[in-house]
Amino acid sequence: MSKKNLFDNTEVAFALKSDAELDRAYFLFKMISIEPLVKIGTAMTNFALKAKLPVKSLIRATVFDHFCGGVSEADCSSVVNKMYTKRVCSVLDYSVEGKEEEEQFDEAMNRILEILDFVDQKEPIPYGVFKPTAFGRFALWQKKTEGKTLTKAEEEEWDRIEARFDRVCNKASDCNVALLIDSEESWMQGAADDLVANMMRKYNRDKAIIYNTLQLYRHDRLGYLKELHEDAKKHGYKIGMKIVRGAYMEKENERAQEHGYLSPICIDKQTTDDNFNTTLIYILNNIEDIDVFIGTHNEYSTLLAIETMEELGLEPYDPRIWFGQLYGMSDHISFNLAAAGYNVAKYLPFGPVRDVMPYLIRRAQENTSVAGQTSRELTLITRERKRRKLENES
């Protein structure tokens, strides 16, 4: 493919990292590459936090500062502004998970509303984001997805979830900030799909403000997108869609086996890649109807998007097309893409150290399990350290 060397420039990729930050990144990915160490470290960290041992400052100085922007949205400002000097935007992701009480759901909604206020009129932060389960109980999302009859109390509870969704989507529309609604496990996603589609019909009349997320390790998702596309054409609204490969593979396969149904997950990695790439091309060929946020750390998929955009005569800076990676990972993709003129945003998680730990643990586990991810990071960091050493010696 053309432009295959686009991501090789480590000077551009790590321009914002000091030598000390580069050394810390090398140390972190070296530790993450050792699977038993990740398991032991996870257990020890969970124990230390539960026992209220003084480990927060250690976590903050290492893994937290590498993968997160800060403890509050204001705390993220220095990272946001620094990345924007290289044309890389930010998506502030309040990464507090696993709440189950009504007051906590209202609190989560209010935090999202505050974040939308914070990012209003801020060019470096073009998106807001939240997860459906931030606004309601897991069990209720599942029951609704399964099509079971809700009790009167559950109906009222569901009405409150819909009201929270509508309030946040209305705020995003008022602020003219696009809103990425993240995906859930398949046994909860059906209800989320229906609710997000309702929000699109209401708020995406003129432009894509509300985005759903497709996890394309699921073999049924392209079919769902095509059905939604037909509905959008019929009812006259724009689709906003973030596409990713997916984050719950082991959990999905285990549950399918346990309950005796066909797993919704593609049979292997290559099938997932093919599904992602086919969906990507479908969207770009229908860009008049579908705005896209391409969430990928995969070089081939990114190059495929660039090549397809060129074939279709789409400009790199087309406002309907954005690329996204997680903060602390794949800087060689993000910063080289931005330097070439493409729209790029880093997912920038933030929140209290204790509350963000589930997110950080998942990042460590994913880097251990995803083939080649950690070794690629280590190779690039090593190359840049050598380049700087030679530069300093000359």
Does residue 37 surpass a pLDDT of 70? no
Render pLDDT for 61-74 as a digit per residue (tens, 0 to 9). 888 899 999 999 99
Does residue 319 surpass a pLDDT of 90? yes
Judgement on whether residues 339 and 190 belong to the same structural domain of the protein: yes
pLDDT confidence of residue 359? 78
- Residue 299 lies inside a defined structural domain of this protein: yes
Judgement on whether residues 204 and 317 belong to the same structural domain of the protein: yes
pLDDT confidence of residue 39? 74
Judgement on whether residues 105 and 140 belong to the same structural domain of the protein: yes
Q: Whole domain around residue 309: which residue ranges?
A: 69-350
Render pLDDT for 174-233 as a digit per residue (tens, 0 to 9). 999 999 999 999 999 999 999 999 999 999 999 999 999 999 999 999 999 999 999 999
Which of 260, 225, 258, 257 is closest to 240 using CA atoms? 225
User: How large is the average pLDDT for residues 83-112?
Assistant: 91
Judgement on whether residues 306 and 243 belong to the same structural domain of the protein: yes
- Residue 123 lies inside a defined structural domain of this protein: yes
Judgement on whether residues 42 and 90 belong to the same structural domain of the protein: no
Higher-pLDDT residue of 32, 123: 123
Three-state secondary structure of the chain: CCCCCCCCCHHHHCCCCCHHHHHHHHHHHHHHCCHHHHHHHHHHHHHHHHCCCCCHHHHHHHHHHHHCCECCCHHHHHHHHHHHCCCEEEEEEECCCCCCCHHHHHHHHHHHHHHHHHHCCCCCCCEEEECHHHCCCHHHHHHHHCCCCCCHHHHHHHHHHHHHHHHHHHHHHHHCCEEEECCCCHHHHHHHHHHHHHHHHHHCCCCCCEEEEEECCECCHHHHHHHHHHHHHHHCCCEEEEEECCCCHHHHHHHHHHHCCCCCECCCHHHHHHHHHHHHHHHHHCCCCEEEEEECCCHHHHHHHHHHHHHCCCCCCCCCEEEEEECCCCHHHHHHHHHCCCCEEEEEEECCHHHHHHHHHHHHHHHHHCCCHHHHHHHHHHHHHHHHHHHHHC
CATH number at 121 reads 3.20.20.220
- Residue 360 lies inside a defined structural domain of this protein: no
- Residue 389 lies inside a defined structural domain of this protein: yes
Does residue 173 surpass a pLDDT of 90? yes
% of residues, the chain, pLDDT over 70: 96
- Residue 3 lies inside a defined structural domain of this protein: no
Judgement on whether residues 114 and 136 belong to the same structural domain of the protein: yes
Lowest mean pLDDT among 60-64, 84-88, 126-130, 321-325: 60-64
pLDDT confidence of residue 54? 74
Judgement on whether residues 344 and 381 belong to the same structural domain of the protein: no
Judgement on whether residues 53 and 75 belong to the same structural domain of the protein: no
**C-beta of residue 388 within 8 angstroms of C-beta of residue 394:** no
Judgement on whether residues 198 and 123 belong to the same structural domain of the protein: yes
Render pLDDT for 219-269 as a digit per residue (tens, 0 to 9). 999 999 999 999 999 999 999 999 999 988 888 999 999 999 999 999 999
Judgement on whether residues 43 and 152 belong to the same structural domain of the protein: no
Judgement on whether residues 289 and 159 belong to the same structural domain of the protein: yes
- Residue 317 lies inside a defined structural domain of this protein: yes
- Residue 331 lies inside a defined structural domain of this protein: yes
- Residue 90 lies inside a defined structural domain of this protein: yes
- The number of distinct structural domains making up the chain is 2
User: How large is the average pLDDT for residues 126-150?
Assistant: 96
pTM of full prediction above 0.85: yes
User: How large is the average pLDDT for residues 119-125?
Assistant: 94
Judgement on whether residues 106 and 182 belong to the same structural domain of the protein: yes
Q: At what angle do helices 102-119 and 152-175 cross, to 10 degrees?
A: 10
